[in-house]
Structure 1
């Protein structure tokens, strides 16, 4: 996997971007027909040229310090819209069909979300994908991923001008492509796809840094290998847990509209139910007191199936309806203990008292009131709901204040909460 042309992840992402066929086959021959995953020995990519890779090829996607094989990556992509319980059931069935010859990796839902987001081209970075060999800072991998998704020229389907022969671009069309102006992206404009070594700049700057120390102990730091600690670290995404209760005013169908657009719509309304059917999603919010330059991405989930222990350090809020069964499988199943570590949020109708259980948990659970929905049959947002923004701003203020107190920073997350 030293070259990008043979890298399974980049080939898969490029094929998805171009809409070209991806076929599990029983051999690497060009005429091999498509077979089921349980019978396949190779995964064949048909664009830009036909390439067949062994289906058990390890990829750069790492889970628990173990590379995930190509079969598992492709299986996760095929089941990208399937909920985690169904996905695990399908994976178990495929493992039975394989008869012990191999095992399909079962992704945790955070890993699956990270993988699908990268394959779709919605993100150029991934916590779980290692750089290509020889690409220490990941710049070449990121640039190759951008080119794989955006830089492939795909002739119109069914065009007779596209090819003058098998594998040969028509000269007239090639002349047109060569006359196009290449726009490039931030990677090619700033540094190109080949990493540039700027280590000599450090030597030139060392003279000025020693003359003007920024800290009394900087003289010791300047001569220490600890200068490598200044390298940029990737901050994990914070997590918000929602209540899975059917009586909750906020569900996966309307939470994005509420927290991102400051507009409340009922979870079962047409405008909300058509927005998403996923069991996880992410929203973006600029937290000025933590990072004023870039929005933070928050992951929203209802259940905690396959929730790793370290994920709890990233949970920044828990929405609740006051029903204690919601916390049965949480790290802290006792509500009093839970809300001592993580702020709780209860959203109810304006003018109604919150449940007795919520009142009993005290100030650690924020009580938020929203106006009732005036027209249950409406398909558009009620323009008179101007007080929703006040409620949403209050929620984000509590979340941001707690994150700062727990140690969230521009480039790092707390190690414990």
Structure 2
């Protein structure tokens, strides 16, 4: 059986895409009933065939250099809509119920976001998920994941199953597979049966390379393996911190309509598009001065409780109301020190002076003014809010300018800020 057929992550993603049942069971028997997660020793997938894997099976998802087990992955998926504090509470309760028979891993919220995005099929790669064994470039796992996201599986010659899913070989598929032309991999094509030395080809090619030099950027990459490996690294997502204060004009419930839709609505308005219980959001924005072809995904959060030290190098803006308690758990709790590293943004009503604390922080905090909301109870868009777009574009321009100054590039983020 191919590695992709019993890979826990791919099986879970395929089952989610097809909507098939996933059952925790106490045995691998086909008739085993579903049990609670604390009593389960197997996780049974029902599509395309019934496969039971030990629930403690380590997966390719790596956290702190340690593979995360299948129970923790499945538990995180069940609680994907739950806020981080409640998720941690549920995980602690499950650990107590397990009674030492296992331990549920508690994901940091950036890790959880990466995992949920991959399982839902919104992305085909993740810096936390290792490629399958023998698939160094990730092509096989990416193809299998793409098929899984469409509710299908990669066909494997000699192991095709019929529609019944009980292990019966479909004669029509067997006939098709028998007519297939066997394709060799790159090793068999280049080397054949015996290892072949191709070092002499380099001498023959040297004369051609001197006459027709490669493009400067390409030659630099070819001659410097460290540059080539660095370019293959995935660019991390920048982070924007919001103020958790109840007096803030921008909260998780309305920040997306402001930064993405260029329309300000009150946090508690009926027109607010995001759930007030969400603890993280992401917005795609094309930053033309950094990458003209690929939009950047910005992660928006209110708290830093689950921050790893390296996450601070990815913070590109901090929204504030001027209340210093917001920075208590930040890497730099002193506002003057904080805004020397990260630009601040204060959003207030047009015609009103910002708080004294914001004015004292000087040019390091950008003041953005928006018009007051005229119809707080309406469900329609206020057509008079055309000046919101000007304010939003000013915010993005300031963020992009700071990112370029800090060293954000098309394929990498700054190592320190």
2:100 alignment counterpart: 100
CA distance in 2, matches of 1:238, 1:163: 45
Q: CA deviation at 1:211?
A: 3.3
Is 1:286 the counterpart of 2:292 in the alignment?
no
CA distance in 1, matches of 2:69, 2:23: 16
- Matched positions, count: 390
Say if 1:354 and 1:367, in contact at 8 Å, map to a contact too: yes
Structure 1: tracts of 5 or more residues without a match: 154-161, 179-192
1:412 alignment counterpart: 412
Q: What is the TM-score when the length of structure 2 is the normalising length?
A: 0.86
1:23 alignment counterpart: 23
Is 1:349 the counterpart of 2:349 in the alignment?
yes
1:399 alignment counterpart: 399
1:217/1:137 Cα in 2 relative to 1: closer, same or farther (>3 Å)?
closer
Q: What is the TM-score when the length of structure 1 is the normalising length?
A: 0.86
CA distance in 1, matches of 2:236, 2:218: 30
CA distance in 2, matches of 1:206, 1:228: 21
1:92/1:340 Cα in 2 relative to 1: closer, same or farther (>3 Å)?
same
Structure 2: tracts of 5 or more residues without a match: 154-161, 177-182, 191-197
Q: CA deviation at 1:277?
A: 3.3
CA distance in 1, matches of 2:69, 2:324: 40
1:124 alignment counterpart: 124
CA distance in 1, matches of 2:165, 2:114: 40
Say if 2:313 and 2:416, in contact at 8 Å, map to a contact too: yes
SS in 2 for 1:402: helix
Q: CA deviation at 1:109?
A: 0.3
CA distance in 1, matches of 2:396, 2:220: 41
CA distance in 2, matches of 1:240, 1:403: 12
Say if 1:91 and 1:104, in contact at 8 Å, map to a contact too: yes
1:377/1:224 Cα in 2 relative to 1: closer, same or farther (>3 Å)?
closer
Is 1:238 the counterpart of 2:238 in the alignment?
yes
Which has the larger displacement, 270-279 or 302-311? 270-279
1:189 alignment counterpart: none
2:158 alignment counterpart: none
CA distance in 2, matches of 1:323, 1:263: 25
Q: Deviations over 1:128-169 (max 9, x none)?
A: 00000111111211111010011529xxxxxxxx96896779
SS in 2 for 1:258: helix
Q: CA deviation at 1:64?
A: 0.6
Q: CA deviation at 1:210?
A: 3.6
- Cα-Cα RMSD: 3.1
CA distance in 2, matches of 1:205, 1:357: 67
Say if 2:252 and 2:274, in contact at 8 Å, map to a contact too: no
Q: CA deviation at 1:219?
A: 8.7
Q: CA deviation at 1:381?
A: 1.5
CA distance in 1, matches of 2:287, 2:99: 50
1:206/1:372 Cα in 2 relative to 1: closer, same or farther (>3 Å)?
farther
1:227/1:384 Cα in 2 relative to 1: closer, same or farther (>3 Å)?
closer
CA distance in 2, matches of 1:400, 1:217: 25
CA distance in 2, matches of 1:110, 1:27: 34
Say if 1:347 and 1:370, in contact at 8 Å, map to a contact too: yes
CA distance in 2, matches of 1:29, 1:332: 55
